[in-house]
Amino acid sequence: MKPVNEYLQKNDRRSLFALMFALAWPTVMEQFLETIVQYIDTGMVGQIGANASAAVGLSTSLTWLIISPMFAMGIALLAMMAKAVGENDAKKAQAVAHQAVFVVIVLGVVEGVLAITLSGYVPAWMGADKVIQKDAAMYFKIICMPMIFRAAIIVFANVIRATGDTKTPLKINLMVNVLNIILNFFMIYGTREISVFGTVYRIWGADMGTTGAAIGTAISLTLGGILMTVAFFRRSLSRMSFKHIAYNAGMMRQSIKLGLPIALNKTITSLGYVVFAGLVSSMGAVIFAAHTIATVAEMAFYIPGYGMQTATSTMVGYTLGKRDAETFMRIVKMTLAVVVGIMIGSSLILFFGAEAVMRCFTSDEAVIALGATVLKMIAFSEPFFAAAIVLEGVYNGLGKTKIPFFIETCCMWGVRIIPVWVIVNMPGASLQKVWLCMILDNLIKTALLGRGIFRGGRGKAIFKKMCETV
């Protein structure tokens, strides 16, 4: 990839699109590969039975809650690093990198200890069926043990991406995911015989079920964290030794100021997902298995949104460093047009291929039928959800992180959680009604985020105000 400033200096539509593509495609591919691996992970566990799928699904929702502060600080540091790159300020960029080290150490240790300590209690707190509580608790405990390595993967990857290098995190995460698949193959199932072109091979297996899946994940995350740390320290903008790392109180305050609303946003959202999952889990193992598998299946279809979100936040940070409001608005419109166009196509695939997608994860016909129904429903809102993801990236890149927090909080709890609680506790509760609340949440959130950027030139006004204050 060319240096970022070469694209920005030309400042024409072709150059901006090339920059967007260069930043986005490795991140989109990374998200795609991670989702494929989660597909395989879920499918492998799903072969054990609906209870195993439900146990892993419960832990997945809780993990999103635990690691949300890491994502938040990663996004904050990405915005700060992107602005430093836009200003061509190497000294500031290195200072941002220094603070990332402190963030990884503190969050990794604190959240790891907290998660492991509470692992035995949370499945019961979430109202999970007693049949899956033990497996869910053990799975969650094991995958949280390498929390500091997970923090390194998340935070350091964001700082690396902000410098314009999106390929290195892609390569490392690809390695992590492939290793996870290989370990799952041997850890989940028992010793068995497989036939390849007529030749029968006896394959060793640990027969550890969901616990084996957790061990495979933990080992993969540990290796990934080590490799991401090595890559981070080798970057030209962050190259340093541990003895030269300097704590900068002012810059750390700025990162916390940016990151706190994102952390609250992601925590509230993740907590909402946990409560949401708990409500659905009370409807029975089959319904919750259908919900969990359909949720994982849906993830692949909004990957472009999250890939474009990172690219958008980074490019907005560059334009903020350049103080260029016109380019800022061109970037916003261009990324939205691209992601919505892509999502319309992927939504059609999801709608017509819903049943086939569900069959990739389970052979339970009741789970397949129910999951396919809700996937067809959610397909209609996918373009709007992707637009909301990119718009959130715009606000994050600007440093206006409070706006998405307030919108997300109101929509998550006012449109999704409270109505679902009412539905679950009324006669005739169904997964279809639950997912209808999800669809309404996506639509309303997109409308509110878009209104804050496009109505009456608000986007430019916010941008110019941020240029005056940073």
The pTM of this model reads 0.73
pLDDT value at position 213? 82
Q: Residue 318: which residues within 8 A CB-CB, separation 6 or more?
A: 4, 8, 82, 83, 85, 86
Displacement of CA 288 from its chain's centroid (Å):
21
The pLDDT assigned to 127 comes to 63
Nearest C-alpha neighbor of 80 from the set 405, 389, 314, 322: 314
Cα separation, 358 vs 372, in Å, equals 6
**Token pair for 428:** 């005739």
- Please write the tens of the pLDDT for every residue from 317-339: 888 777 878 888 888 888 899 88
pLDDT given for residue 209 in this prediction: 77
Site of tokens 């129910």: 370
Instruction: Tell me how long the chain is.
Output: 470
Neighbours of 372 (CB within 10 A): 20
Mean pLDDT for the chain? 81
Q: Alpha-carbon torsion 140, 142, 143, 145, what sign?
A: positive
In angstroms, rounded to a whole number, what is the distance separating the alpha carbons of residues 244 and 68?
29
Q: Is 8 exposed, middle or buried (0-12, 13-18, 19+ CB in 10 A)?
A: buried
pLDDT exceeds cutoff 70 at 469: no
- pLDDT at site 1: 47
240 secondary structure, DSSP code = -
High-pLDDT (> 90) share of the chain, %:
13
Instruction: Return the minimum-mean-pLDDT range out of 127-131, 142-146, 173-177, 320-324.
Output: 127-131
What end-to-end distance do the CA atoms of the chain give, in Å? 28
Q: Which residue has the tokens 């080992």?
A: 219
Judge contact between 61 and 132, C-beta under 8 A: no
> Rounded CA gap, 452 and 157, in Å?
29
φ, ψ for residue 215 (rounded to 5)?
A: -65, -40
> What confidence score (pLDDT) does residue 115 get?
86
Measured CA distances, 244 to 69, 75, 137, 225, 372 (Å): 26, 24, 40, 21, 55
Burial environment of residue 431 by CB neighbours within 10 A (0 to 12, 13 to 18, 19 or more) = buried
CA angle 380, 387, 292 (to 5 degrees): 55
Q: Predicted confidence band at 56 (pLDDT cuts at 50, 70, 90)?
A: confident
Q: Which of 115-124, 144-153, 457-466 has the lowest mean pLDDT?
A: 457-466
Q: What is the pLDDT of residue 224?
A: 92
Helix axes of 249-281 and 402-411: crossing angle, nearest 10 degrees: 10
| Predicted confidence (pLDDT) per residue in 392-429, tens digit | 888 888 888 888 889 988 998 898 889 988 988 888 88
Average pLDDT over residues 80-107: 87
Angstrom distance (rounded) from CA 333 to CA 378:
25
Q: What is the DSSP letter of 117?
A: H
Residue 109 is predicted with a pLDDT of 94
Decide if pLDDT at 282 tops 90.
Answer: no
| pLDDT top residue among 96 and 30 | 96
The widest CA-to-CA distance across the chain, in whole angstroms, is: 71
The structural domains of the chain, with segments of one domain joined by +, span 4-469
Average confidence (pLDDT) over 161-190: 85
pLDDT at 359: 86
132-135, long-range: CB < 8 A, 24+ apart? 132/51, 132/54, 132/55, 132/58, 132/285, 135/51, 135/52, 135/55, 135/209, 135/210, 135/211
pLDDT at 188 over 50: yes
Quote the pLDDT of residue 85: 82
Say how far apart CA 315 and CA 166 lie, in whole Å. Answer: 13
Which of these, 259, 245, 35, 74, lies nearest to 160 by C-alpha position?
74
- Where would I find the beta strands (DSSP E) of 130-257? 190-196, 199-206
pLDDT reading at 238 higher than 60: no
pLDDT per residue as tens digits for the range 193-220: 777 777 777 788 777 877 888 888 899 9
Mean pLDDT over 460-468 rounds to: 71
- Please report the pLDDT score of residue 92 as a whole number: 85
**For 343-382, how does the pLDDT look when each residue is reduced to its tens digit (9 = 90+)?**
898 889 889 988 888 887 777 888 888 889 989 998 888 8
